[in-house]
Protein backbone atom coordinates (compact mmCIF):
# COMPACT_ATOMS: atom_id res chain seq x y z
CA UNK A 1 0.00 0.00 0.00
CA UNK A 2 2.69 2.51 1.02
CA UNK A 3 4.88 1.65 -1.95
CA UNK A 4 1.95 2.10 -4.34
CA UNK A 5 1.08 5.49 -2.85
CA UNK A 6 4.66 6.76 -2.90
CA UNK A 7 5.07 5.83 -6.55
CA UNK A 8 1.71 7.34 -7.45
CA UNK A 9 2.56 10.61 -5.70
CA UNK A 10 5.72 11.03 -7.74
CA UNK A 11 4.29 9.99 -11.11
CA UNK A 12 1.22 12.19 -10.69
CA UNK A 13 3.28 15.39 -10.59
CA UNK A 14 6.38 14.39 -12.55
CA UNK A 15 6.51 16.32 -15.84
CA UNK A 16 2.71 16.57 -15.89
CA UNK A 17 0.17 19.44 -16.00
CA UNK A 18 -1.06 18.34 -12.57
CA UNK A 19 2.18 19.71 -11.15
CA UNK A 20 1.23 23.27 -12.09
CA UNK A 21 -2.35 22.82 -10.88
CA UNK A 22 -1.16 21.39 -7.57
CA UNK A 23 1.29 24.25 -6.98
CA UNK A 24 -1.26 26.97 -7.73
CA UNK A 25 -4.10 25.32 -5.82
CA UNK A 26 -2.13 24.58 -2.65
CA UNK A 27 0.46 27.38 -2.76
CA UNK A 28 3.26 24.90 -2.16
CA UNK A 29 6.60 24.56 -3.90
CA UNK A 30 7.43 21.11 -2.52
CA UNK A 31 6.61 17.97 -4.46
CA UNK A 32 6.83 14.24 -3.74
CA UNK A 33 10.21 12.61 -4.34
CA UNK A 34 10.80 9.57 -6.56
CA UNK A 35 10.52 6.20 -4.86
CA UNK A 36 12.33 3.00 -5.79
CA UNK A 37 11.53 -0.08 -3.73
CA UNK A 38 15.01 -1.61 -3.78
CA UNK A 39 17.00 1.58 -3.12
CA UNK A 40 16.65 1.83 0.64
CA UNK A 41 18.81 4.91 1.10
CA UNK A 42 16.38 6.89 -1.05
CA UNK A 43 13.23 5.49 0.55
CA UNK A 44 13.36 7.47 3.76
CA UNK A 45 13.52 10.93 2.11
CA UNK A 46 10.68 9.88 -0.20
CA UNK A 47 8.31 8.86 2.59
CA UNK A 48 9.30 11.85 4.74
CA UNK A 49 8.46 14.19 1.88
CA UNK A 50 5.19 12.36 1.23
CA UNK A 51 4.24 12.78 4.88
CA UNK A 52 5.19 16.47 4.73
CA UNK A 53 3.10 17.27 1.66
CA UNK A 54 0.17 14.95 2.44
CA UNK A 55 -2.07 17.75 3.83
CA UNK A 56 -1.57 19.62 0.55
CA UNK A 57 -2.29 16.42 -1.38
CA UNK A 58 -5.57 15.98 0.50
CA UNK A 59 -6.50 19.59 -0.27
CA UNK A 60 -5.69 19.08 -3.95
CA UNK A 61 -7.77 15.90 -4.16
CA UNK A 62 -10.72 17.63 -2.51
CA UNK A 63 -10.48 20.50 -5.00
CA UNK A 64 -10.43 18.04 -7.89
CA UNK A 65 -13.47 16.22 -6.52
CA UNK A 66 -15.33 19.52 -6.17
CA UNK A 67 -14.34 20.29 -9.79
CA UNK A 68 -12.46 23.44 -8.83
CA UNK A 69 -9.28 21.95 -10.27
CA UNK A 70 -8.95 19.85 -13.41
CA UNK A 71 -8.98 16.09 -12.88
CA UNK A 72 -5.66 14.62 -14.07
CA UNK A 73 -7.49 11.47 -15.12
CA UNK A 74 -4.56 9.16 -14.39
CA UNK A 75 -4.22 5.89 -12.54
CA UNK A 76 -1.82 7.62 -10.14
CA UNK A 77 -4.54 10.06 -9.13
CA UNK A 78 -6.98 7.19 -8.65
CA UNK A 79 -4.47 5.46 -6.38
CA UNK A 80 -4.10 8.60 -4.28
CA UNK A 81 -7.88 8.99 -4.01
CA UNK A 82 -8.07 5.41 -2.80
CA UNK A 83 -5.28 5.99 -0.29
CA UNK A 84 -7.02 9.09 1.05
CA UNK A 85 -9.89 6.88 2.18
CA UNK A 86 -7.56 4.82 4.37
CA UNK A 87 -7.61 6.26 7.92
CA UNK A 88 -4.46 4.30 8.75
CA UNK A 89 -2.36 5.73 5.93
CA UNK A 90 -0.42 8.16 8.12
CA UNK A 91 0.23 5.36 10.62
CA UNK A 92 1.60 3.29 7.75
CA UNK A 93 3.82 6.18 6.70
CA UNK A 94 5.16 6.45 10.25
CA UNK A 95 5.80 2.72 10.51
CA UNK A 96 7.59 2.75 7.16
CA UNK A 97 9.73 5.66 8.33
CA UNK A 98 10.62 3.95 11.61
CA UNK A 99 11.86 0.83 9.81
CA UNK A 100 13.74 2.88 7.21
CA UNK A 101 15.42 4.91 9.95
CA UNK A 102 16.60 1.69 11.58
CA UNK A 103 18.42 0.72 8.37
CA UNK A 104 19.52 4.18 7.24
CA UNK A 105 22.67 4.63 9.39
CA UNK A 106 23.94 1.13 8.60
CA UNK A 107 23.34 1.43 4.87
CA UNK A 108 24.89 4.89 4.66
CA UNK A 109 27.92 3.77 6.65
CA UNK A 110 28.63 0.70 4.53
CA UNK A 111 28.08 2.20 1.08
CA UNK A 112 31.71 3.19 0.86
CA UNK A 113 35.04 2.08 -0.57
CA UNK A 114 36.65 2.35 2.87
CA UNK A 115 37.50 -1.08 4.37
CA UNK A 116 34.70 -1.69 6.87
CA UNK A 117 34.87 -5.45 7.40
CA UNK A 118 36.35 -5.21 10.93
CA UNK A 119 33.23 -3.37 12.09
CA UNK A 120 30.59 -5.35 10.20
CA UNK A 121 30.06 -8.07 12.80
CA UNK A 122 29.14 -5.74 15.65
CA UNK A 123 27.15 -3.23 13.59
CA UNK A 124 25.11 -5.88 11.81
CA UNK A 125 24.39 -7.76 15.01
CA UNK A 126 23.11 -4.57 16.65
CA UNK A 127 20.91 -3.78 13.66
CA UNK A 128 19.33 -7.24 13.50
CA UNK A 129 18.97 -7.58 17.26
CA UNK A 130 17.23 -4.20 17.52
CA UNK A 131 14.82 -5.16 14.74
CA UNK A 132 14.05 -8.50 16.36
CA UNK A 133 13.39 -6.84 19.72
CA UNK A 134 10.51 -5.00 18.11
CA UNK A 135 8.40 -8.14 17.70
CA UNK A 136 10.21 -11.07 19.37
CA UNK A 137 10.09 -11.84 23.09
CA UNK A 138 13.26 -10.71 24.83
CA UNK A 139 13.83 -14.05 26.56
CA UNK A 140 13.62 -15.83 23.19
CA UNK A 141 16.54 -13.90 21.71
CA UNK A 142 19.84 -15.82 21.88
CA UNK A 143 22.82 -14.05 23.41
CA UNK A 144 25.31 -15.05 20.72
CA UNK A 145 25.15 -13.82 17.11
CA UNK A 146 25.72 -17.35 15.80
CA UNK A 147 22.48 -18.52 17.41
CA UNK A 148 20.72 -15.25 16.66
CA UNK A 149 21.01 -15.68 12.89
CA UNK A 150 19.68 -19.24 13.17
CA UNK A 151 16.61 -18.23 15.14
CA UNK A 152 13.36 -19.35 13.53
CA UNK A 153 11.61 -16.00 13.50
CA UNK A 154 8.64 -17.47 11.63
CA UNK A 155 7.72 -19.36 14.81
CA UNK A 156 4.90 -17.21 16.16
CA UNK A 157 5.35 -18.73 19.62
CA UNK A 158 8.38 -16.44 19.91
CA UNK A 159 6.42 -13.36 18.93
CA UNK A 160 5.18 -10.67 21.26
CA UNK A 161 1.46 -10.07 21.45
CA UNK A 162 0.35 -7.58 18.77
CA UNK A 163 -0.30 -4.90 21.39
CA UNK A 164 3.34 -5.11 22.51
CA UNK A 165 4.87 -4.82 19.04
CA UNK A 166 7.05 -1.75 18.58
CA UNK A 167 5.55 -0.01 15.55
CA UNK A 168 7.35 3.27 16.23
CA UNK A 169 6.36 6.31 18.26
CA UNK A 170 4.78 8.11 15.31
CA UNK A 171 2.52 5.23 14.32
CA UNK A 172 1.59 4.65 17.97
CA UNK A 173 0.53 8.29 18.33
CA UNK A 174 -1.57 8.13 15.17
CA UNK A 175 -3.47 4.98 16.11
CA UNK A 176 -4.04 6.37 19.59
CA UNK A 177 -5.91 9.28 18.00
CA UNK A 178 -7.88 6.86 15.85
CA UNK A 179 -8.93 4.61 18.73
CA UNK A 180 -11.62 5.01 21.34
CA UNK A 181 -15.39 5.28 21.19
CA UNK A 182 -15.28 8.18 18.72
CA UNK A 183 -12.32 6.86 16.76
CA UNK A 184 -12.36 6.32 13.00
CA UNK A 185 -10.97 2.79 13.28
CA UNK A 186 -12.32 -0.09 15.34
CA UNK A 187 -10.22 -1.85 17.94
CA UNK A 188 -10.18 -4.88 15.67
CA UNK A 189 -8.85 -2.76 12.81
CA UNK A 190 -6.09 -1.32 14.96
CA UNK A 191 -5.16 -4.77 16.23
CA UNK A 192 -5.01 -6.04 12.66
CA UNK A 193 -2.73 -3.13 11.75
CA UNK A 194 -0.34 -4.12 14.53
CA UNK A 195 -0.43 -7.73 13.35
CA UNK A 196 0.37 -6.61 9.82
CA UNK A 197 3.31 -4.57 11.11
CA UNK A 198 4.54 -7.62 12.99
CA UNK A 199 4.38 -9.72 9.83
CA UNK A 200 6.26 -7.03 7.90
CA UNK A 201 9.00 -6.96 10.53
CA UNK A 202 9.20 -10.74 10.44
CA UNK A 203 9.53 -10.79 6.65
CA UNK A 204 12.19 -8.08 6.67
CA UNK A 205 14.24 -9.87 9.31
CA UNK A 206 13.87 -13.23 7.58
CA UNK A 207 15.13 -11.70 4.35
CA UNK A 208 18.06 -10.13 6.19
CA UNK A 209 18.94 -13.36 8.00
CA UNK A 210 18.77 -15.62 4.95
CA UNK A 211 22.08 -14.30 3.61
CA UNK A 212 23.41 -12.75 6.78
CA UNK A 213 27.24 -12.52 6.97
CA UNK A 214 27.03 -13.24 10.70
CA UNK A 215 26.78 -16.92 9.79
CA UNK A 216 30.43 -16.98 8.81
CA UNK A 217 33.31 -17.21 11.26
CA UNK A 218 35.57 -15.19 8.98
CA UNK A 219 33.37 -12.12 9.51
CA UNK A 220 33.60 -12.63 13.26
CA UNK A 221 37.37 -13.03 13.17
CA UNK A 222 37.81 -9.88 11.08
CA UNK A 223 36.98 -7.96 14.25
CA UNK A 224 40.63 -8.42 15.20
CA UNK A 225 41.49 -5.58 12.80
CA UNK A 226 39.35 -3.11 14.72
CA UNK A 227 41.83 -0.75 16.48
CA UNK A 228 39.59 -0.51 19.54
CA UNK A 229 39.51 -4.28 19.88
CA UNK A 230 43.28 -4.45 19.42
CA UNK A 231 43.71 -2.09 22.34
CA UNK A 232 41.07 -3.52 24.67
CA UNK A 233 41.40 -7.25 23.87
CA UNK A 234 44.85 -7.92 22.38
CA UNK A 235 44.91 -11.62 23.26
CA UNK A 236 41.49 -12.20 21.74
CA UNK A 237 42.53 -10.36 18.58
CA UNK A 238 45.65 -12.48 18.35
CA UNK A 239 43.55 -15.65 18.40
CA UNK A 240 41.25 -14.26 15.74
CA UNK A 241 44.07 -13.25 13.41
CA UNK A 242 45.53 -16.75 13.74
CA UNK A 243 42.13 -18.22 12.86
CA UNK A 244 41.93 -15.92 9.83
CA UNK A 245 45.36 -16.91 8.57
CA UNK A 246 44.55 -20.57 9.07
CA UNK A 247 41.32 -20.14 7.09
CA UNK A 248 43.13 -18.37 4.26
CA UNK A 249 45.76 -21.10 4.09
CA UNK A 250 43.11 -23.84 4.02
CA UNK A 251 41.16 -22.15 1.23
CA UNK A 252 44.22 -21.26 -0.82
List per-residue pLDDT tens for the chain, 252 residues long.
788 999 988 888 888 888 888 888 888 888 899 887 777 777 889 999 999 999 999 999 999 999 898 888 889 999 999 998 999 999 999 999 999 999 999 989 998 899 999 999 999 999 999 999 999 999 999 988 888 888 999 999 999 999 999 999 999 999 988 886 557 788 899 999 999 999 999 999 999 898 889 888 899 999 999 999 899 999 999 999 999 999 888 877
What domain count does the chain have? 3
Phi and psi at residue 8, to the nearest 5°: -65, -40
On whether both 82 and 125 belong to a single domain, the answer is no
On whether both 72 and 60 belong to a single domain, the answer is yes
On whether both 177 and 252 belong to a single domain, the answer is no
On whether both 151 and 227 belong to a single domain, the answer is no
Q: Is residue 95 part of a domain?
A: no
On whether both 125 and 197 belong to a single domain, the answer is yes
Q: Is residue 104 part of a domain?
A: no
What pLDDT, on the 0 to 100 scale, is given for residue 17? 85
CB 80 within 8 A of CB 2: no
On whether both 145 and 158 belong to a single domain, the answer is yes
Q: Is residue 105 part of a domain?
A: no
Nearest to 171, CA basis, from 85, 102, 80, 98? 98
Q: Is residue 91 part of a domain?
A: no
On whether both 178 and 247 belong to a single domain, the answer is no
CB 129 within 8 A of CB 141: yes
On whether both 239 and 189 belong to a single domain, the answer is no
What pLDDT, on the 0 to 100 scale, is given for residue 92? 94
Q: Is residue 109 part of a domain?
A: no
Q: Is residue 77 part of a domain?
A: yes
Domain boundary among 33, 65, 86: 86
Contacts of 69 (CB under 8 A, 6+ apart): 21, 25, 60, 63
What pLDDT, on the 0 to 100 scale, is given for residue 15? 81
What pLDDT, on the 0 to 100 scale, is given for residue 171? 94
Q: Is residue 102 part of a domain?
A: no
Q: Is residue 50 part of a domain?
A: yes
On whether both 201 and 228 belong to a single domain, the answer is no
On whether both 189 and 229 belong to a single domain, the answer is no
On whether both 125 and 48 belong to a single domain, the answer is no
Q: Which domain holds residue 246?
A: 217-252
On whether both 165 and 221 belong to a single domain, the answer is no
Q: How far apart, in whole angstroms, are the C-alpha atoms of residue 161 and residue 141?
A: 16
Amino acid sequence: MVEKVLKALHFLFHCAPARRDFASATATSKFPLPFCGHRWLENLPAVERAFEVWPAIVKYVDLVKSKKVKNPGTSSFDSICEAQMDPLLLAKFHFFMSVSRAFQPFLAKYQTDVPMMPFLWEDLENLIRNLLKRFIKRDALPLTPYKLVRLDITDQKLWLSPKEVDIGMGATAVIKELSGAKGRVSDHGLLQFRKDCQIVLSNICKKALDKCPLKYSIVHNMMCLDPKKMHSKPDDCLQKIKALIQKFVQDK
